[in-house]
């Protein structure tokens, strides 16, 4: 396993991070015992960064991860989130108020069976009012930090410009964005990475498979990408199949080779997936295959989708 320093936090995090959302049945029913084995296997293979949220499985992922980490908490860096608890249409689905996030961390710590997390992140900030997040939410998280319940403070989301704006005006230690650096899209490198390098902010990448567009099964029905993007992803899968390589391996290796993201989060709930993802770090992707992939996705390169409030989109 390789490790990189996460901004100014001083944390040396594994280049592959454990995304715990599948433990909450976010992508289908997960076998609880197998999920525990996956977590233990990840730690044994050197994965030391674990990311979860009360939103995943509506608290289920935190509960399951907390149980799986019992006796192993001191071997990992643990990150959770606050502010998002349901779908946009749900009552209370988003609540970035100081009162709610202050209560939220105590609930998370109880489920995770720990007295602190290494990073507490404001979840999907594009769904909130950015002025509230800057002037109320982040100051509340700093008070939580002062109380010793989290070591560092971060933000997450899909749109890049709102992340950069909130980080520059509100001050954060880490930024997590998903589906903005992979075989289909690389604009994180242009919009966020220079800012993070300049400010010493830890940059976290997520969803190397573009929320499963880059998989043999293809995108789930709920995927918000356009049909053109999904079809382009299917062509990437076919190119990899013709070369006898796994598109998941190629996609992950492409992401972890990007040196300016400290870690790339991958959703995992099965031991064999953990083992496959760690093994993918050692593969060499033929340069001509990467060239073919780049040419194939060029018509839709860097095309994303709206998320959150209109004023927060890129």
CA distance 252 to 264: 8
Instruction: Look at the alpha carbons of 165, 199, 182, 20 in this order and tell me if their dihedral is positive or negative.
Output: negative
Give whole-number Cα distances, 278 to 96, 197, 275, in Å. 36, 26, 5
Residue indicated by tokens 């720990």: 114
∠ Cα 170 185 295 (to 5°): 160
Q: Which stretches of the chain are assigned E, i.e. beta strand?
A: 3-5, 12-14, 16-19, 49-51, 77-82, 117-122, 150-157, 174-178, 202-206, 263-267
Rounded to whole angstroms, the maximal C-alpha distance in the chain is 55
At a CB cut-off of 8 Å and minimum separation 6, what does 195 contact? Answer: 164, 167, 168, 201
With contact defined as beta carbons under 8 Å apart, do 276 and 242 qualify?
no
Q: Is 56 a catalytic residue?
A: yes
Residue 21 Cα distances to 5, 11, 186, 213, angstroms: 24, 22, 23, 17
The kind and range of the H/E element at 104 are helix 98-112
Of the candidates 56, 77, 85, 178, the residue annotated as catalytic is: 56
Catalytic residues: 56
């Amino acid at each position: 396993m390789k490790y990189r320093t996460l901004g100014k936090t001083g944390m040396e995090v594994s280049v592959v991070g454990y995304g715990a959302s599948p433990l909450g049945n976010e992508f289908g029913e997960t076998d609880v015992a197998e999920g525990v084995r996956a977590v233990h296997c990840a730690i044994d293979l050197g994965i030391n960064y674990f990311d979860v949220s009360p939103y995943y499985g509506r608290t289920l992922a935190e509960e399951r991860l907390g149980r799986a980490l019992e006796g192993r908490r001191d071997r990992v860096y643990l990150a959770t989130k606050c502010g998002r608890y349901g779908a946009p249409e749900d009552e209370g689905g988003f609540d970035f108020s100081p009162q709610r996030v202050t209560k939220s961390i105590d609930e998370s710590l109880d489920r995770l069976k720990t007295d602190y997390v290494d990073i507490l992140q404001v979840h999907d900030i594009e769904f909130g009012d950015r002025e509230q997040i800057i002037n109320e939410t982040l100051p509340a998280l700093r008070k939580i930090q002062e109380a010793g319940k989290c070591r560092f403070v971060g933000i997450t989301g899909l749109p890049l410009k709102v992340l950069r704006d909130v980080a520059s005006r509100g001050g954060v230690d880490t930024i997590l964005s998903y589906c903005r650096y992979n075989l289909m899209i690389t604009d994180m490198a242009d919009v966020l990475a220079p800012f993070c390098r300049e400010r010493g902010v830890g940059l976290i990448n997520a969803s190397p498979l573009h929320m499963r567009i880059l998989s043999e099964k293809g995108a789930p029905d709920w995927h918000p990408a356009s049909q053109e993007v999904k079809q382009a992803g299917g062509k990437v899968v076919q190119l990899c199949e013709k070369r006898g390589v796994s598109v998941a391996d190629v996609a992950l290796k492409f992401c972890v080779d990007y040196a300016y993201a400290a870690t790339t989060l991958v959703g995992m709930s099965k031991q064999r997936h953990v083992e496959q993802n760690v093994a993918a770090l050692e593969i060499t992707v033929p340069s001509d295959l990467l060239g073919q992939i780049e040419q194939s996705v060029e018509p839709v390169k860097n095309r994303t989708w709206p998320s959150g409030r209109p004023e927060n989109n890129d």
